C-alpha cells in the first residue's frame, strides 16, 4: 500500500501521535450480552457502561480486519486486509496480508511500523498516557475517560445492520482542528465492536471493519514477542497516518 511509504510529506508529529491515540482509543473489546430480545435504544450512559464493562473482560483478542482509507485528494480509496491482535493494555498489533509489506505495532510508549521485505521501519515515541486504572485508551479504557475530550452521542447504527453507533465529537479547539468525529459501531446484543471510522477535519477518513473476534485465547509467539530485528534502520517518525499526494 503506497499510503505508508516513509519519507514523504504529511501531517506533523503531534497529529500522528493524536491519531495513534484515537486508533488505540477505539480498538475492540468483548462484553456481556444484552437480555434476549432487548433491542430498544439504551441511554448513552447505559450503553457506555456496557461498553466499559466489556473492555475490562478482555485479556487478548484476535480478529481479521479490512482497512479502507479515503483521501480527499484521491479518487480511489485504498483497501487493505490483515489480522489484528490485542493483548490487554500492552499492545495492539496489525499484521497486514500480502501483497502488503507492513506490520504496525502500537504500545503505550511508541508507534512502530515495520516492512520485513524492505528491511525498514519507523518508530515514534509517544510516552505514557495518564489514566487511573493503569489501562490506556481503548485497550481497557473507559468511554467515561474519552468523554473528557469528546461529546458522545448514541444512534441507531443504520449503516451497519444490528448495531448501535457511538458518535464522538471533539470538545476542545485543539482537537477540533485535527479531528471531525470518531464513530464506533457495536453489536446490539453482544456489544462487540463491528467497525470504527475516524474522520479528519480535512475530510480524510480511516474505516476499520472487523471480522469474527476470538477473545481470551493465546496469541502467536511472533506477535507477543514482536521486536524489529537488530540492524534494521528506524526513522524517528510514523507516516502511516500522513496524507500523501
Residue-range domain boundaries for the chain: 2-235
Evaluated on CA atoms 45, 48, 89, 7, the torsion sign reads negative
Burial class (CB in 10 A: 0-12, 13-18, 19+), 217: exposed
**Which DSSP string do the residues of 201-218 spell out, in sequence order?**
TTS-EEEEEE---EESSP
Residue 45 cell numbers, joined: 450512559
pLDDT of residue 27: 56
- Whether pLDDT at 7 is above 50: no
- Whether pLDDT at 31 is above 50: no
Average pLDDT over residues 8-31: 46
Average pLDDT over residues 31-51: 67
pLDDT of residue 1: 46
pLDDT of residue 107: 87
Helix or strand run (H / E) with residue 190: none
3.40.50.300, 2.50.20.10, 3.40.109.10, 3.40.50.360: which CATH number matches 2-235?
2.50.20.10
| Prediction pTM value | 0.78
Residues 80-112 pLDDT 10s: 999 999 988 788 999 999 999 999 999 888 889
pLDDT of residue 64: 97
Sequence-ordered list of residues with C-beta below 8 angstroms from that of 211, at least 6 positions apart, any chain: 63, 64, 65, 66
Residues 127-167 pLDDT 10s: 644 433 323 334 345 677 777 788 999 999 888 888 999 99
Residues 199-224 pLDDT 10s: 988 899 999 999 998 989 999 999 99
Of 19-23, 84-88, 195-199, the least confident: 19-23
Q: How far apart are CA 83 and CA 192, in angstroms?
A: 17
The DSSP symbol for 139 reads: B
Amino acid at each position: 500500500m503506497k499510503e505508508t511509504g516513509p519519507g514523504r510529506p504529511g501531517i506533523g508529529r503531534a497529529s500522528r501521535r493524536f491519531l495513534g491515540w484515537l486508533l488505540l482509543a477505539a480498538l475492540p473489546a468483548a462484553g456481556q450480552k444484552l437480555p434476549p430480545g432487548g433491542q430498544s435504544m439504551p441511554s448513552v450512559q447505559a450503553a457506555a457502561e456496557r461498553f466499559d464493562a466489556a473492555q475490562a473482560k478482555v485479556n487478548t483478542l484476535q480478529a481479521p480486519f479490512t482497512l479502507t482509507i479515503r483521501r480527499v485528494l484521491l479518487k480511489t480509496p485504498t483497501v487493505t486486509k490483515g489480522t489484528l491482535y490485542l493483548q490487554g493494555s500492552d499492545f495492539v498489533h496489525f499484521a497486514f496480508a500480502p501483497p502488503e509489506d507492513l506490520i504496525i505495532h502500537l504500545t503505550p510508549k511508541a508507534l512502530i511500523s515495520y516492512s520485513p521485505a524492505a528491511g525498514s521501519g519507523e518508530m515514534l515515541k509517544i510516552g505514557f498516557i495518564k489514566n487511573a486504572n493503569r489501562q490506556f485508551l481503548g485497550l481497557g479504557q473507559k468511554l467515561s475517560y474519552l468523554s473528557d475530550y469528546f461529546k458522545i452521542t448514541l444512534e441507531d447504527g443504520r449503516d451497519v445492520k444490528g448495531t448501535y453507533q457511538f458518535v464522538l465529537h471533539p470538545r476542545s479547539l485543539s482537537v477540533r482542528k485535527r479531528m471531525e468525529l470518531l464513530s464506533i459501531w457495536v453489536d446490539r446484543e453482544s456489544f462487540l465492536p463491528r467497525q470504527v471510522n475516524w474522520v479528519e477535519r480535512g475530510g480524510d477518513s480511516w474505516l476499520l471493519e472487523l471480522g469474527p473476534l476470538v477473545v481470551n485465547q493465546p496469541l502467536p509467539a511472533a506477535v507477543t514477542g514482536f521486536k524489529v530485528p537488530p540492524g534494521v534502520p528506524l526513522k524517528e517518525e510514523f507516516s502511516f497516518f500522513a496524507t500523501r499526494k
